[in-house]
């Protein structure tokens, strides 16, 4: 079933709290869209947030056109399921390092010295938060 609504359900949030990759596309980007895999977090405010370099192409596209979408799919071996969240996206100057640290702990084994060093490298650079404010949520569960 797929439907276009503007809010995330409890089942959506449960799905989005798993360590899955999202595929981000920006409206102001190239045509056809070229989604990029990203780490993300669903928030208590029903937004989706991720972090990036403030000089990244993502940020430049969003400053031109703030619309973006993220698609998250269940991995192979599970029943088919995907969720798409689209909406206006803001670039926030605060909270990116905290978000990065939370997501690294979710996606990586930080007891691995190489991964801990990777995280330290990211935290040593400037980062911003991208926050997608859902306007359309579509989903499919088979």
- Let me know: does 94 contact 8? Beta carbons within 8 Å: no
pLDDT of residue 4: 58
Query: Band of the pLDDT at 7, cuts 50, 70, 90?
Result: confident
Query: Band of the pLDDT at 5, cuts 50, 70, 90?
Result: low
Q: What percent of the chain has pLDDT over 70?
A: 95
Q: What integer is the mean pLDDT of 84-100?
A: 97
Per-domain residue ranges of the chain: 10-141
Beta bridge partners of 88: 67, 133
DSSP characters over the chain: ----BSS--HHHHHHHTSS--EEEEETTS-SS---EEE--EE-TTS-EEEEE-TTSHHHHHHHH--EEEEEEEPPTTS--EEEEEEEEEEEESSSHHHHHHHHHHHHS-TTSHHHHHHHHHHHTS--EEEEEEEEEEEEEE-
CATH architecture of 10-141: Roll (2.30)
Query: Band of the pLDDT at 3, cuts 50, 70, 90?
Result: low
**pLDDT tens digits, 59-80:** 999 999 999 999 999 999 999 9
């Amino acid at each position: 079933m797929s439907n276009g609504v503007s809010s995330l359900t409890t089942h959506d949030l449960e799905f989005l709290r798993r360590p899955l990759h999202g595929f981000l596309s920006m409206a102001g980007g190239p045509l056809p869209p070229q989604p990029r895999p990203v780490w993300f977090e669903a928030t208590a405010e029903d937004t989706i947030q991720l972090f990036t370099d403030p000089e990244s192409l993502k940020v430049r596209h969003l400053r031109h056109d703030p619309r973006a979408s993220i698609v998250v799919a269940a991995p192979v071996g599970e029943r088919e399921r995907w969720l798409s969240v689209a909406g206006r996206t803001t670039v926030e100057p605060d909270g990116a390092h905290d978000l990065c640290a939370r997501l690294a702990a979710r996606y990586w084994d930080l007891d691995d010295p190489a991964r801990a060093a990777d995280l330290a490298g990211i935290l040593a650079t400037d980062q911003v938060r991208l926050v997608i404010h859902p306007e359309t949520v579509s989903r499919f569960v088979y």
